Structure 1
Amino acid sequence: PELIKENDLQILEMLGSGSFGHVHKGMWSNREVAVKYVLHAKRSEVECIDRLIALKHPHLVTIFGLCENAPPYNGIPKNIGKDCFCIVMEYCGQKTLRNIINGEEAIRKDLFLMWTNQITSAMIYLYEQNLLHRDLKPENILLPADNSLKLCDFGTVREWKGATTSMTYCGTVRYMAPEVLQGKAYSHKADVWSFGVILWEMLVQQPPYEGQESPAIIFKIGKGELVLPELNIPENINSLSLLLKKCLDRNHHQRLSYNEIASSLERVKVFTGILAEELSSISENEWFEVKSNWRAKYAKNYECSVFLSEVSIQKYTQDDSGYSYRHQVSSDNSEQSQSYEENEFSIIRFDEFHDCSWDKPNLIAFVK
């Protein structure tokens, strides 16, 4: 990767933090940049930067290079450690798709269609590079001033060999595909599932699986007892309903690929596809009314019901690959688990739960 000298970086205010480290705003080569401090990095993660720097797409955040000697910043001593490095990338502001989804204003249909196409375009590009994102969610979709979104946070991106892959999965529970939660091998179709959840969330503008704690989501999706409820989508935009169902098909073999999603959204040019044509048939007022009804309906806790085709529940088999989930069955109440609800998880070792009830309310899932 291109090596950036420590003295060439000016570190400014912190933008965010997580289990990986911290992200700061900075200056480099007379431009604003985002500087991601990666703590306790593995050599494989450093080597992966080469692939990420080579990615060039209008809807992916550009990565400029790597600073191996991480500059100190407030709260972190100068001897940060040789296992910490910085990724210097394009600065796109701090607004994310999460801010828009949680906002008071309903997402306009033109923005919904544009963002759907842009996410699809970016994910097709990653797929063509044999890469899996593995943590697609609204928080990782930035919205610069022009509202043309960019996917970010490639810390979980891994190479895909063209067949289903057994590897640890670092993602967020609410966006994980069933096969991932079951500890099975998975492919780019796991990213397609995450995309489907984001589509649903953009339409409803409510959190997926509202009122469900992360441990409950893990087990209920794994058992097929929890899915996103079917939306009462107007018949004249039936392709939207079909798109949601095919992205959220529990059978990953039947799930759409990104190329199939793109073909359903566009024929020759963006916005000339089936969905674009159908959305043009409803007025903006009708669109807002439908979205308002969905949002009000799912503003409170709800019981999810299976609306996809009935599937048999397969037994969970142990995967010989590494696992990142850690768990503990405790006699305490479930309050502790609530604090982990929005944290990031990887894969559960279901074999360790062989003698445990699926319905234990006191399961505590620990962050890796």
Structure 2
Amino acid sequence: VNEEYAKFAMSQVCNAVKAIHSVGYVHLDIKPENVLIKESGHMKLTDFGSALCLSDSHSDYQLQGTAEYLSPTLVEGKNPESADDIWALGCMLYQLLAGTAPFNGENEEALFQKIKQRDLIFPSTFPPLAKDLVSKIFCIGKEYVPITLMRIMKHEFFMDINWKDVNAVEP
């Protein structure tokens, strides 16, 4: 898709994730296949089968979700947190603009290794502001410290998005 449509789509999904996080839940399976396009052209996040309440204990959490969208912390066996949804937003933005998932491997072990190393190559046609945002989400070239959803929404990539009226904007 083109950059403007990716920006529109991601603003809709970010808004949905903000709403989910505001009530203490994480989705844990954010990916293009779980975003429906309504007749109006607006996006609707679906499939809450992996969603968890953050205030509950997750000591018995079993890794689930789509492998290509799992964060390094989930791959390392840590408990789910809101940052795992943020990571998936980065994966989704990358996939919308590159046409493929950011991380892949011949098998799950190889895929998880690439995710943990954040071994990512951007196509030469990848838009610069989107590349900067994805690089910040994945902490390319530095220790992985998750970025907040608010920092994503304030990033230059979204500078022309009016977050108060994001659902009123025509696609």
TM interval, short-chain normalised: 0.7 to 0.9
Q: How much has 1:149 moved relative to structure 2?
A: 1.1
Q: Which has the higher contact order (CA 8 A, sep 6+)?
A: 2
SS in 1 for 2:110: helix
2:3/2:97 contact within 8 Å kept: no
Partner of 1:262: 153
Q: Which amino acid aligns with 2:132?
A: L
Partner of 1:149: 43
SS in 2 for 1:150: strand
Change in Cα spacing, 1:210 to 1:169, as seen in structure 2 (3 Å) is closer
**Distance in 1, Cα, partners of 2:147 & 2:11:** 15
1:189/1:255 contact within 8 Å kept: yes
**Which structure 1 residue ranges, 5 or more long, are not aligned?**
1-106, 272-368
Partner of 1:227: 119
Q: How much has 1:221 moved relative to structure 2?
A: 2.9
**Distance in 2, Cα, partners of 1:148 & 1:120:** 13
Partner of 2:137: 247
Q: How much has 1:185 moved relative to structure 2?
A: 3.0
1:320-359 residue pairs with structure 2 within 5 A?
A: none
SS in 1 for 2:103: coil
Choose the corresponding residue for 1:204, options 88, 98, 101: 98
TM-score under structure 1 normalisation? 0.39
**Distance in 2, Cα, partners of 1:157 & 1:117:** 20
1:20-99 residue pairs with structure 2 within 5 A?
A: none
Change in Cα spacing, 1:219 to 1:110, as seen in structure 2 (3 Å) is closer
Q: Which amino acid aligns with 1:240?
A: A
**Distance in 2, Cα, partners of 1:268 & 1:139:** 24
2:104/2:111 contact within 8 Å kept: no
Change in Cα spacing, 1:114 to 1:208, as seen in structure 2 (3 Å) is same
**Distance in 2, Cα, partners of 1:108 & 1:240:** 11
The alignment's C-alpha RMSD in Å is 2.8
TM-score under structure 2 normalisation? 0.79
Q: How much has 1:147 moved relative to structure 2?
A: 2.2
Partner of 2:89: 195
Instruction: State which drifts further: 257-266 or 173-182.
Output: 257-266
> Would you say 1:115 and 2:9 are equivalent positions?
yes
> Would you say 1:159 and 2:53 are equivalent positions?
yes
Of Structure 1 and Structure 2, the greater strand share is in: 1
**Which structure 2 residue ranges, 5 or more long, are not aligned?**
165-171
SS in 2 for 1:171: coil
Of Structure 1 and Structure 2, the greater helix share is in: 2
SS in 1 for 2:94: helix
Q: How much has 1:220 moved relative to structure 2?
A: 4.0
Aligned length: 159
Change in Cα spacing, 1:229 to 1:159, as seen in structure 2 (3 Å) is same
